Each structure stands twice: as C-alpha cells, then as structure tokens.
Amino acid sequence: MNFAINKGDNTEEFIDSLKAIYSVDQLKQLAKKNLYVCPYCQVSMRVRSGDDRGTYFAHPSNLACLESKQVEHAYRQYKKQIQRESFRHPVLVSLIKDELDTAAAGRDLVEITEGYRVPRFKKHFPDLYVQIGSKEWAITILTDMTEHESLEHSRNFKARHQYFIENGLIPLWLIDKANFAAETMKSSILLWEIEWLSSHTSKEDHAWKNEVATYTNREELFNVSGYTTSALSSNRKIDLKSIYYISQIEDKNYIRVFRFIDDARGEIYRGFLIGETSRVPFSQALHIENEAFMLRDPEQELSFRKTFKANFLEAVERKREREKRILEDQAQQNALLQRIREEEKEAAVAPVEGEKTEELQEAVPQIEPSVSLPRAVLASTAMSPQEKELDDRFRQYFYELNRGKVQNLSSHVPEKKYREFLERMRTTRIEGASYILSSNHVWRPIILTWLEENYYLENWKVSVQIIRDVLKNARVEFTENREEILKVPIKDFLTVYQKSLKKDLKVKSSFSIKS
C-alpha cells in the first residue's frame, strides 16, 4: 500500500512523502516499532522496498485484509492511468488536496479522498473525489497533452469523462497551463479534443452570455473583434464556456479561467476568447460555496464584463467611423477626378497660344543625336509649366486630405529600412519587460502592428493606456494588474520607438506619447 495510519498522532501518511524526509532504512526501523498500521484492519504495517514496486507499506505475511487488497489493486490501475502525466502531476494533486482540506475545515458533510480509495470506482479513477452535501465531484489534473495527443488517449479521456457522469459525479478537469495555445491577434483559442470536452458552462458564463446578448450578436461580435471563422452564421447562438488551467507565478499557484464562445469542432477545436483572463488564487478558486467550488472572482468578472462592453462598443463606433471615412474619401476622390476631367476639357478647348501649332509640328519630342540617354528620358517626360503647376496643386490637395487621417506607416517609408527597423524593435532591450509574462515574440509584434496601422502624417499621439488595452485584448499576460507596473514596459517601448522613428526611418511626423 502507498499509505498507512501513524499511531503516534493518528494521521494518514503517504510513503512518497515520507521518502522525501527519511531514508528507506529509517522507515523500515520506524515500522518495526509498530508506528504504522493499516487504515482498514489496524494491523501493524512493515516497509518494504524493491526494484519492481519501489518502496511501500505491506502487511505481515498472510495477514493482508480484503479492503487493503482492493485498494492496492485500484491504486495499481490508477498508476497505469496516470503513467503518461508529467512529473508535475503528483505535486499539483497534493497542492490541490491541501487547499481542499483547508476549505473543508470546520464544515459538515464534506468528504475529500483520493479517487482510487473510493470502492465504487472500478474502471476509471479521478485524482480526487470530493463530496459536498448531496453533490459529488471528480477532480482530475491533466499535465501532458501536447507531445502525444493519441487517438487512444483521447478515447480513454472520453471514457473517463462519461464514466464519472454516469456515476453521478460532476467532472472538474484542471489543465496545466503549458498546454494552452491561442492566436492572440485573432482572439482565438485552439484546443485538443480533451480540452474541449473538459470545458463547461458555469454561473459566470451565463452572466457573460446574458449581458453580451443585450448589445450585440454572434456575427457582429466576431466581425468587430477581428475573429475569422469558417463556421460564421448569424443564426447560431452564443455558446459560452469556461476552461480551467493551472499556472504558477512567483511561487504562487492560480487557476486561470479562460472563457470562449464555442465555434469549430472536428479536425480542430477552436473558439473566440472573450474578456480578460481571470487569475484566481487556489485558496479562492477552491473555496466551497453552495455545494460547489467558486472557481472565479465575482468582483473581477464584473469589472471584466464592464471593460469588455466599453471596449467593444468603442470598437463598433470606430468601425462605423472608418466606414464613413471610406465613403467620404471615395466621394472626395470622385469629385476630384470630375474636376480634373473638367479642367482637361477646358484646356483642350482653349489651348495656350502657340502650343497647338507646336503639337502639330512635333507630336513626339525630337532628340538630338548628341543628347545623352538620361537627358533624352528627361526631355521625353518633362512637364510643361501648366502641367507642373497642376501636379503640385493635386499633391498638396492629397496631403491636406490625408494628413488628419489614419495611415499605414509601411507605405511612407522604404521597405528594406522598415524591415530592419522592425527587427531591431523586436530585440532591443526594454525596461520592465520582465513584468510581461508573454514572450517578446508575442507582445512586441502586437504593438508594432497596431502602430503601423494607426500612423498619422501630423500630430501622431499614442496613449500608453490604449496600448495596454490592445495588449490585454490580445490576451498578453502581465505579472501584476497594477497600473504603475503595467505602464513601465509599454512606455519604455514607445520611447525607444519614438527615437528610432527619427533616427532610423527619418520620419518627420511629430510622434508623442501620452502617459
């Protein structure tokens, strides 16, 4: 067996935990003095060790009880079930059990135990079995799904999931954050089938769904947010779910709650990530509330819903203004073309004196043999004073037309220099970059793309707050949520960008940073 009762203080002790404190010889000596007994028949246990089974508690010869044999058989099945999990698996199970024991302290009708110790589980075992009043939970931690997402393992997972449901339990799957994958620029989450099956609709998901439905629909939400899908349909409802990941930041453990609108299923499992990622400490996430676990921070979620609504409605308004500007630009360009045609007609009716005669005499400029090729080209393409004046007028007109409108920076600078500039911005040292958990290859391109698409010829002002919102909407993670911390790397990045614009790209626009 892997556990026994310590007669000294009547506590349950596991052999793996004891091995971290004592040597095998020390454990054997303690067992000889009858310190450990079987939790089922109270017979004194011995400690044995070997290559095949490792170190374990054992009954004296021929004294093993039926209950211990059943648990031992279940434990071997459980170990086979979790053999593909990473080294973090037992650590996470232990941490979560400790938090659950703390949450259950002083409460009646709460039972917490390892899944293999529950007699009714014969085929599949949760890591932890929890009963709160009339509700039963099967808690399972998944750590390794990225390297071998085999069909056999997927089927095994579905069988476990269905087995728990058929036995009247609520499955709760907690996944190591290392398995998380998202297209940040498209607000898209990519899931294994296992991850998709582990997601479910929670109380907070209903609150999100009901509120979002008051100001938009699925099609508009995807369109405005830049989420592209092959399954877009205005008739489909918003099917909102949650998936729970375990992450560790500075030695603190959190449950990360990702909410998404279910979209594609089949060859890939994909959804639209909605709102900010909720980071809930273990102690709060596993707090017991009305025969369930909180798994959320209600105040944080309320704030996230308000922020998401405000940002979305602003994006809708910006989209409308952008479409309006496009229509206005088209109208202005059509009017300009009409003016050009009218002026050309007037010039054709009343040509400059002597010009018509010259055109008749010499339809094509005659180039003297002694004139060099470059001069010949200039002579053939030279504009008349009237044409040059008209060209200058239109250049100035287009500049006036566009200087107060958003532009694309890449169309105003040499392509090669711009590529070199972007490469430097992706690698240059930024103060406070350690406050951003996401990789440099993730957050820097997000800022650079936004700046490229929001360039102004004059009075180019960029707010640190706007860039912060852009990063948060793209699911970029920070070590903290304090504003003064979040602003440090963003402001320094913009400062470096500002200097490089003038030095490397020779951009004349007056770029300024608003704190």
Give the whole-angstrom CA distance, residue 297 versus residue 48.
Answer: 47
pLDDT above 90 covers a percentage of the chain that reads 32
Please determine, for residue 444, whether its predicted confidence score (pLDDT) is greater than 70.
yes
Give the whole-angstrom CA distance, residue 209 versus residue 189.
Answer: 18
Mean pLDDT of all residues in 343-352? 69
Instruction: Provide the CB-side half-sphere exposure for 61 (13 A, CA).
Output: 0
Q: What is the pLDDT of residue 330?
A: 79
Q: What is the pLDDT of residue 390?
A: 57
Q: What is the pLDDT of residue 378?
A: 45
Q: What is the pLDDT of residue 371?
A: 43
Q: What is the pLDDT of residue 144?
A: 77
Q: What is the pLDDT of residue 387?
A: 60
Please determine, for residue 488, whether its predicted confidence score (pLDDT) is greater than 80.
yes
Please determine, for residue 468, whether its predicted confidence score (pLDDT) is greater than 70.
yes
Q: What is the pLDDT of residue 484?
A: 80
Helices (runs of H) and strands (runs of E) counted in the chain: 17, 19
Residue 406 confidence class, pLDDT cut points 50, 70, 90: low
Give the whole-angstrom CA distance, residue 39 versus residue 36.
Answer: 9
pLDDT above 70 covers a percentage of the chain that reads 85
Span of 30-44, 265-279, 369-383 with lowest mean pLDDT:
369-383
Place of tokens 């793209």: 474
Q: What is the pLDDT of residue 214?
A: 94
Please determine, for residue 420, whether its predicted confidence score (pLDDT) is greater than 90.
no
* pLDDT tens figures, 227-248: 888 765 545 788 899 999 998 8
Residue 365 confidence class, pLDDT cut points 50, 70, 90: very low
Helices in 350-384 by DSSP H: which ranges? 355-361, 373-381
Q: What is the pLDDT of residue 457?
A: 67
Span of 151-160, 331-340, 433-442, 443-452 with lowest mean pLDDT:
151-160
Distance between start and end Cα atoms, the chain = 62
Q: What is the pLDDT of residue 158?
A: 85
Neighbours of 343 (CB within 10 A): 12
Give the whole-angstrom CA distance, residue 498 versus residue 421.
Answer: 12
Q: What is the pLDDT of residue 366?
A: 47
Residue 128's nearest CA partner among 115, 142, 118, 110 is: 115
